[in-house]
Amino acid sequence: MFISTINRQRFRLYQAEGSSLAALSVSILTALLSNQLLTFIDTVMAGWAGAVELAGVAVGGSLWLPVFLFMYGVLMAVTPMVAQLHGAGRTGESGPLARSGILVAIPLVLTAALFLCNAEWAFAWMGVDDGIAHVAAGYLKAISWGLPAAALFFLMRNLSEGMGLARPSMLIGLVSLPVNALVNYLLIYGKMGLPALGGIGCGWATAITLWFMCALMLLTIRIARPYRAACFFGPLKTKSVKRAAEIVRLGLPIGCSLLVESSVFALIALFLAPLGALTVSAHQITLNYSSLVFMLPLSMSSAITIRVGHAVGMGRHDRARLVSRAGLVINAIIALFTSALTLFFSQQIASIYTDDRQVIAMAAGLLVFNALYQFPDSLQVAAAATLRGYKDTRATLVMVVLAYWVVSLPLGYSLGLTHFWGEPMGAAGFWISLVVGLGLASLLLLMRLRYVERTTALADRKMVGI
């Protein structure tokens, strides 16, 4: 009876924490999906303009995404830092902390813009078709104008979410979708007297939308009452450089981890480019769908980081472990559902992007491998998110490098483009290697999480004299 009572109490705790995570993740999910739908809209509308335009946006996006995610990852350090301050009752320090991130963002933006505006060498080196390379280079130059807005938006959104306020970024993301679609329509197809830019128009539309989102988020923090306690618009203080250094210390491993992971996808797209627009288009469809589905476990993981950060800030490591367990279970359930959905409706999913039967057939085959890797992907992102809540990021970087660069990418290259294992498998070989790499990453990160949780549990027992 006593054991049964304890189990019921534990189940209720998990149920309550799961509900809290779900409530927070819904707003985060909507915001993330809105951002991801910007890429989805670009992909679909470029696909309607032709296979070369779609392939150009895909190849350009393969370089844009790692740059974008690296900048996002470095600035993501603001979220757990704000969460711990908020949990410790020091919310007034969170606004100056986020604002000091501008010192970090400036060199990031300048470096990223310089790289994106001079990316032609990468396309020439990889032997990308001239027509595809032209669209990709124009797309990157256009989208680079939105980098300052993206960086400032990230800082403000991370401040908001670290305080547990996820709804504003959700609403801004939703409002931005019709803006992006309208500007895409005008610039891709040359409406209302504007030039028809094709896939390059997608880059300009994204840049304009990023500035629109940044302006709305800035206005929200300025006028909304819940943000007054954060003091985001307070006077400048001498600690800004010290706070910026702390953001770099914590955020650089996060940014590098995201860069390592996303650069694998970028290199896959570039490796596949010489195989033609058909292969690149099928890969891009699979990757874009994968990114959309990934928003489900990613939103839950963002909620995990926030809730773990709050718990650690309050000194409640037992609560942090509870959040971790509940989040891992929820992400596992999500992955089982989305994997089944992908397997059963692969043809229908591919047909959303294009009416080309060859592209649909190839993409549907790749979606099968995508379904297989969703489960380990959901577990590794939840484990990494929990570790961020503990401000444990350096070990994560080492494990991600091992899983993706040492194992996954060489395996994918050998399977897809060489005769080492037999007949080259093309895009399918790379997607098989992603399944292997994600499986290894999830195992390593779960082991690291277990170590961190046991270490904090032992520290807690020593403090109470046990």
**DSSP string of 217-257?**
HHHHHHH-GGGGGGTTTS---TTHHHHHHHHHHHHHHHHHH
Q: Per-residue pLDDT averaged across 299-322, rounded? A: 79
Which pLDDT does position 262 carry in this prediction? Answer: 72
Which pLDDT does position 464 carry in this prediction? Answer: 52
Going by C-alpha positions, the residue among 120, 126, 121, 155 that lies closest to residue 138 is 120
Q: How is residue 405 annotated by DSSP?
A: I
Q: What is the pLDDT of residues 345-400, one digit of tens each?
A: 888 888 887 777 888 888 888 888 888 888 888 898 889 888 888 878 788 888 88
Q: How many CB atoms lie within 10 A of CB 222?
A: 11
Q: What is the pLDDT of residues 137-147, one digit of tens each?
A: 888 888 889 99
pTM over 0.85: no
Q: Is the pLDDT of residue 32 over 70?
A: no
Structure tokens at 19: 């509900």
Going by C-alpha positions, the residue among 29, 57, 62 that lies closest to residue 296 is 29
Which pLDDT does position 3 carry in this prediction? Answer: 43
Q: Per-residue pLDDT averaged across 1-21, rounded? A: 60
**DSSP string of 398-458?**
HHHHIIIIIIIHHHHHHHHHSSSSSS--THHHHHHHHHHHHHHHHHHHHHHHHHHHHHHHH
Q: What is the pLDDT of residues 165-194, one digit of tens each?
A: 878 887 888 888 888 889 888 888 878 777
What gap in Å lies between CA 43 and CA 48, rounded to an integer?
A: 9
* R_g of the chain computed on alpha carbons: 22
Q: Is the pLDDT of residue 278 over 60?
A: yes
What gap in Å lies between CA 81 and CA 388, rounded to an integer?
A: 9
Which pLDDT does position 368 carry in this prediction? Answer: 86
What gap in Å lies between CA 131 and CA 110, rounded to an integer?
A: 28
Going by C-alpha positions, the residue among 281, 214, 204 that lies closest to residue 47 is 281
What band does 303 get if pLDDT is binned at 50, 70 and 90?
A: confident
What band does 6 get if pLDDT is binned at 50, 70 and 90?
A: very low
Percent of the chain with pLDDT over 70: 89
What band does 212 get if pLDDT is binned at 50, 70 and 90?
A: very high
Q: Which residue has the higher pLDDT, 47 or 60?
A: 60
At position 365, the amino acid (one-letter code) is: G
Q: Per-residue pLDDT averaged across 274-284, rounded? A: 76
Structure tokens at 170: 């959700």
Q: What is the pLDDT of residues 353-362, one digit of tens each?
A: 777 788 888 8
Structure tokens at 57: 């946006």
What gap in Å lies between CA 446 and CA 143, rounded to an integer?
A: 36
What gap in Å lies between CA 431 and CA 366, rounded to an integer?
A: 7
89: left (phi > 0), else alpha (psi -120 to 50), else beta? left
Q: Is the pLDDT of residue 15 over 70?
A: no
**Residue that the structure tokens 């995508």 belong to:** 370
Q: Is the pLDDT of residue 4 over 60?
A: no
Structure tokens at 310: 């709050």
What is the residue-averaged pLDDT of the chain?
81
